[in-house]
Amino acid sequence: MRVALLGILVSALQVAGTILDNGHPRENPYPGQAPKISLDDTWNIYGADVPEIAYKGRWDSKHVSWWSAPGIKVEFTGGKGINISQLAVSFGPSTSDGVLVAYRLGSLDWQFSNVTADATYQFVGDWSELSDEEIREKKIFEMRAQIAGVATAGNAELTVPPSLASGQFATYETMSSWAYLFVAGLGNVEYSITAYAGACLTDKACYGGGARGMTWYWHQAADPGSRAHEFYGDEPEGWDVNAEQPADLVLIQMGGNDHRHPNEIPGKDFYHAYVDLIEDIHRSWPHAVVLIVSQWGYFAKKGMTYQVDQIYEEEGKKVHEHFKDLGFVYYFDTTGLLQHNDIGPKAHPTDVGHVKLASHLLQWVKLVLRWKLEPMGEVQHGTLSWNDQEGY
């Protein structure tokens, strides 16, 4: 199974700061800081091009990663008679300074480490608490770049010691987002999330007319942001959506940025861009089910209640209507799923809001598509702060 999500994040670019739990700074918010090391000839060094590195999400030909939640997966093992597993990753010159990456073994708990350009960090070592058997068996190492606006960059060299077979507001940004909670919650599913903070659906219509929209972005390796613009100007590398295994399910949620000041894209332009995007997806992946996820707006206090609106509600329904007879487009109405405290700053869900949405979508997939969910391990990090205590 493969699932693609388009436009899901609307979080604004921001400098990541302190993680707050109900107003208090979270203790140790990024456990797992990896030591910086230098490689010597006791390591087996694999270049960024080797087929053993599986790149997830959007990376360009220089192994630079782009929004959102791009990652790598590699399989490694300890060799015969070897009692230690070690794995390190080198980051190339385009890596953003101090950027946070998330990493883990298999689907065990996520860990976090800041990394910088032109440096190597060791993520698995004798501190990893692996049993002799776990050292010998094949293990998946996964790493995701996850903090908004400063996507990690590559030249990721997989470096394995000779002992091993040759072989935005949500707490953790993308990895706390409903998009990620949903796809990871499906279990054993490959996915990609194509989203960029502030991105519009409509192309060259927002922010005075120059900004590229999702209809364009879906075919680009890099995102429509300023970092990509510094790299590539107006001609970033294309992204061949047909080079990937076609998606079985595509979720689209757009509109938050088209709708707001200074953009205020007229409904009919938004509608046509939406139809164009779905037609494009259908041409590329003719068997994919497309789910239009309606876009909530803001809660406002009205008398003794809070009331929320939906954005481009009519247009979204009209797009669904347009494709209805073809049978592959569905409409997911989010009205009422998020209550007042589930929507935080600038219409972004709080962590609880993200969890609620992801849960409803998982249920939709179970009931409508009849997919089986396969629980694999940790999806959301840090939620034990929501009370894992007994006997109080």
Q: Does 12 bind ligand NAG (CB under 6 A)?
A: no
Q: Does 13 bind ligand NAG (CB under 6 A)?
A: no
Q: In the complex with ligand NAG, which residue's Cβ is closer, 174 or 334? A: 174
Q: Does 98 bind ligand NAG (CB under 6 A)?
A: yes
Question: CB 15 → ligand NAG: shortest distance, Å?
Answer: 8
Q: Does 100 bind ligand NAG (CB under 6 A)?
A: yes
Question: CB 33 → ligand NAG: shortest distance, Å?
Answer: 9
Residue written as token pair 């053993």: 52
Q: Does 143 bind ligand NAG (CB under 6 A)?
A: no
Task: Please list the alpha-helical segments (H only) found in the chain.
Answer: 132-136, 178-185, 214-217, 226-232, 256-259, 267-284, 313-323, 351-364
Question: CB 148 → ligand NAG: shortest distance, Å?
Answer: 8
Rounded Cα distance, 337 and 358, in Å: 10
Rounded Cα distance, 74 and 167, in Å: 10
Q: Report the residue from 1, 9, 10, 16 that binds ligand NAG according to the rule CB under 6 A.
A: 16
Q: In the complex with ligand NAG, which residue's Cβ is closer, 45 or 84? A: 84
Rounded Cα distance, 227 and 149, in Å: 8
Q: Which amino acid is residue 127, in one-letter code?
A: W
DSSP code string of 132-185: HHHHHS-EEEEEEE-STT-------EEEE-TTB-----STTGGGGSHHHHHHHH
Q: Does 114 bind ligand NAG (CB under 6 A)?
A: yes
Q: In the complex with ligand NAG, which residue's Cβ is closer, 132 or 240? A: 132
Q: In the complex with ligand NAG, which residue's Cβ is closer, 84 or 376? A: 84
Q: Is the preceding peptide bond at 236 cis, omega within 30 degrees of 0?
A: no
Q: Alpha-carbon torsion 213, 214, 219, 220, what sign?
A: positive
Q: Report the residue from 83, 307, 341, 363 that binds ligand NAG according to the rule CB under 6 A.
A: 83
Question: CB 84 → ligand NAG: shortest distance, Å?
Answer: 6
**Residues in touch with ligand NAG (CB under 6 A):** 16-17, 83-84, 98, 100, 114, 126, 147
